[in-house]
Amino acid sequence: MRLRDMVIQRSKLLEISVTLNSTLELDTLLQFIINSAADLMDSEGASILLVDENTKDLYFAAATGADPDELRTIPVPLYGSIAGTIFREDKYQIINEVASDPRHFHQVDERTRLKTRSLVGVPMRIGEEVIGVLEAVNKRHGAFDELGLRTLEIIGSQAAVAINNARLLRALKKAYEELGKLDRLKSDFIAIASHELRTPLGLILGYAFLLKEEAKDQTSELAEAVMSSAQRMSRLIEEMTNLNMMQVSSPELNLSLQPLQGIAKAAQAELAELIQAKGQTLAVEMPDIPLQAHVDEAKLKLALTNLLNNAMRFTPAAGHLQLRLERHGTEAWLRVIDTGVGIAQEDLERIFSRFYQVEDHMVRRHEGMGLGLSIVRAIADAHGGRVWAESGGPDQGSTFIIALDAA
């Protein structure tokens, strides 16, 4: 080969390498590879054969001058074909008299109406694994030789890496789409389940209340037990609904400039009777000067009531709770502090995950679905804020802080 031809060939190989490394769309990639191979090999055509995951036969993933959809329907056996031999033996083949080779798979010629006279093929490898075969057919001038073979091997090696990367990207996109479908399915299930449970639960609560009012002695105690269990179920349904609401519409906040003192007092008032019934105390500390922020009043109140409810559940009777509002630099911090069971260091972040429970579900003493804190985080994130937990460890109490930009 003349020096000038070698320089041209090397520059084309470099161009192919750059293009292969910048293209991740599989069909476009395959077409580029076969066109480049046919051009550099001075051949009438080129093709890429890959392995069918089900049948383990080879199939034409791309070929020049042929209908790709039609070619994909032609299975090329691993035994009894030249491409199959290249794949199985992981070894190149140069055949300049294809008609006399008994391994030639004539069905391809018949379907494509292209008579194969000569052929050179190389295995395409990723590491030690052969993923396919790259072929060039019908040399236009002269015969296929070892020099041309080296060129095809270079293209095949680069192509194998590029095809593998494109496949990985396609698999990643598919997995991402499946995760999206699964997430939508879960959200739909939560919405339907919570909606369908509300009607019978409302009837149970209504009749249990009437029964409690009219009954006496033991019957009254049974009615109280029914009401208590129904109210517990009602809280669980409310948690499910709130979680779904935050997943679906967290960006859609109804923001307005609000004094945070009023929201904190509303959250305190909502749980005051329950906290008192448990024999606990709740102290509230807030600055006299209004501390304002752009917030969704209803959602921020929901976050605070979830934190207070969480503190109440994990604090023994006669324990102490605190709700503090304070300015911290340019931020407003809302703290909920308890003297409860505390949190181990390794669980401080995990507790904000959906459905996460510190206690094993078979032996846990505290009820709930593990949704309250995940809802708090969703609300804080939607406001562009933060939430985190602090604790000295088991039996050392806990502190939860919501940080928001102050106005």
DSSP 346: G
Half-sphere exposure of 244 (CA within 13 A, CB side): 18
- pLDDT < 50: residue spans in the chain: 248-251, 359-366
What pLDDT is attached to residue 26? 81
For residue 179, give every residue at least 6 positions away whose Cβ sits within 8 Å of its Cβ, in sequence order, or none: none
Cα distance between the two ends of the chain: 76
**DSSP three-state, residue 10:** helix
**DSSP three-state, residue 141:** coil
What pLDDT is attached to residue 203? 72
What pLDDT is attached to residue 383? 93
Residue 245 lies in a domain: no
Contact status, residue 308 vs residue 267, Cβ threshold 8 Å: yes
Which token pair is 153?
A: 């091997």
Lookup result for tokens 């500390």: 285
Contacts of residues 325-328 at CB distance under 8 Å and 24 or more positions apart, as own/partner, are: 325/260, 325/261, 325/264, 325/285, 325/286, 325/287, 325/291, 326/285, 326/287, 326/291, 327/287, 327/291, 327/406, 328/403
- CA distances to 45, 58, 122, 214 from 86, rounded to whole Å, are 18, 11, 7, 88
Closest among 391, 242, 370, 268 to 325, alpha carbons compared: 268
The answer on 162 and 17 residing in a single domain is yes
**DSSP three-state, residue 361:** coil
Q: Which of 144, 175, 206 is the last residue of a domain?
A: 175
Q: Which CATH number fits the domain that encloses residue 13?
A: 3.30.450.40
Cβ atoms within 10 Å of 20's Cβ, excluding its own: 22
Task: Give the DSSP H or E segment for 285.
Answer: strand 281-285
CA dihedral of residues 152, 116, 133, 54 (deg, nearest 10): 170
**DSSP three-state, residue 1:** coil
User: What is the distance of C-alpha 221 from the center of its chain?
Assistant: 48
Residue 328 lies in a domain: yes
Q: Which of 132, 159, 175 is the last residue of a domain?
A: 175
Number of domains present in the structure of the chain: 2
Contact status, residue 367 vs residue 228, Cβ threshold 8 Å: no
DSSP string spanning 294-326? EE-HHHHHHHHHHHHHHHHHTS-TT-EEEEEEE
Contact status, residue 283 vs residue 300, Cβ threshold 8 Å: no
**DSSP three-state, residue 352:** helix
| Distance, CA of 208 to CA of 333 (rounded, Å) | 41
The answer on 291 and 154 residing in a single domain is no
The answer on 143 and 53 residing in a single domain is yes
The answer on 153 and 39 residing in a single domain is yes
Q: Which of 146, 175, 204 is the last residue of a domain?
A: 175
Residue 320 lies in a domain: yes
Which token pair is 23?
A: 């293209």
Cβ atoms within 10 Å of 135's Cβ, excluding its own: 26
Query: How many residues would you count in the chain?
Result: 407
Residue 221 lies in a domain: no
What pLDDT is attached to residue 219? 67
What pLDDT is attached to residue 308? 94
| Distance, CA of 322 to CA of 231 (rounded, Å) | 25
| Distance, CA of 92 to CA of 130 (rounded, Å) | 12
Residue 295 lies in a domain: yes
Residue 285 lies in a domain: yes
Contact status, residue 33 vs residue 48, Cβ threshold 8 Å: yes
Cβ atoms within 10 Å of 261's Cβ, excluding its own: 17
| Distance, CA of 77 to CA of 58 (rounded, Å) | 6
The answer on 140 and 42 residing in a single domain is yes
Q: Which CATH number fits the domain that encloses residue 261?
A: 3.30.565.10
The answer on 396 and 259 residing in a single domain is yes
pTM: 0.48
The answer on 154 and 259 residing in a single domain is no
What pLDDT is attached to residue 260? 97
Whole domain around residue 105: which residue ranges?
Answer: 3-175
Q: Is the dihedral angle over the CA atoms 174, 124, 88, 142 positive or is it negative?
A: positive
For residue 203, give every residue at least 6 positions away whose Cβ sits within 8 Å of its Cβ, in sequence order, or none: none
For residue 68, give every residue at least 6 positions away whose Cβ sits within 8 Å of its Cβ, in sequence order, or none: 60, 61, 62
Which token pair is 314?
A: 């994990």
The answer on 267 and 170 residing in a single domain is no
